[in-house]
Amino acid sequence: MSDSEMLALDEKLAEVFRQRTKSRPDGKKQKKDAKQSVVNFKHRILALVDVYVRNEALNPLAFSLLVPLLRLMRTTSTKPLASRACEIILNYQRGCRKARGGGRDEDKGTAVAAGDLLPLLLEVHGEAVQSNSHAYAKAASASSLIVASAMFAADREAIKQMAAVYAKTQSEWVLGEARLQNSFFADWNNWCQNHASQARP
């Protein structure tokens, strides 16, 4: 092979390599695309969770979704995911009210005992004190009241245990050991007043 042929081949090889590097996406774009794919996947999962809690609001298995949804709200750096998790918790609360108000009794066989829900209420309160943002406080309050309502529906005497959990959380809040918004306790007081007025003849 002559020198001129070698130079021509070298130029052709250089051109092929240039085209290959241009067609290959750069690392930043790949990372961004991968992150967006994960976010889209999480949105699809949350859509399924939303459908589940709307249709199975009184199913005891649905309670296990509350703490992971709260953790997602607190830890994600993607605001739409946090907003969606909050929306799901609020939809769950509405679904519970609607199911209890509608007298749906098909779930009586799967009813959960109030004592079984107490650890979950404690866990929700433990998660609630982690952040004091408005949306998070709203979702944490709704989660707590979902569990409290189920406990109260199972055993009205459970109000004493629930009040003790709220009192402990409130004392931590007053002492500055917990980060909460006062709406968390205002919602609890409203819930108590509502149930007290229903209990009176």
In 3D, which of 183, 185, 100 has the Cα closest to residue 149?
100
Contacts of residue 42, defined as CB under 8 A and 6 or more positions apart, other chains included, come to 78, 81
Angle between helices 27-55 and 79-101 (to 10 degrees): 10
* Residue pLDDT tens, the chain, 201 long: 677 777 777 888 888 888 877 776 677 888 888 889 999 999 999 999 999 999 999 899 999 999 999 999 999 999 999 999 999 999 999 999 998 887 654 444 456 888 889 999 999 999 999 988 999 999 999 999 999 999 999 999 999 999 999 999 999 999 999 989 999 999 999 999 999 998 776
Tokens describing residue 174: 């007053």
For the chain, domain boundaries: 28-199
Q: Do residues 96 and 135 touch, judged by C-beta distance below 8 A?
A: no
Contacts of residue 109, defined as CB under 8 A and 6 or more positions apart, other chains included, come to none
Tell me the C-alpha distance between 55 and 51, whole Å.
Answer: 6
Residue 66, Cβ density class (10 Å: 0-12 exposed, 13-18 middle, ≥19 buried)? buried
pTM of the predicted protein model = 0.81
Tell me the C-alpha distance between 178 and 126, whole Å.
Answer: 9
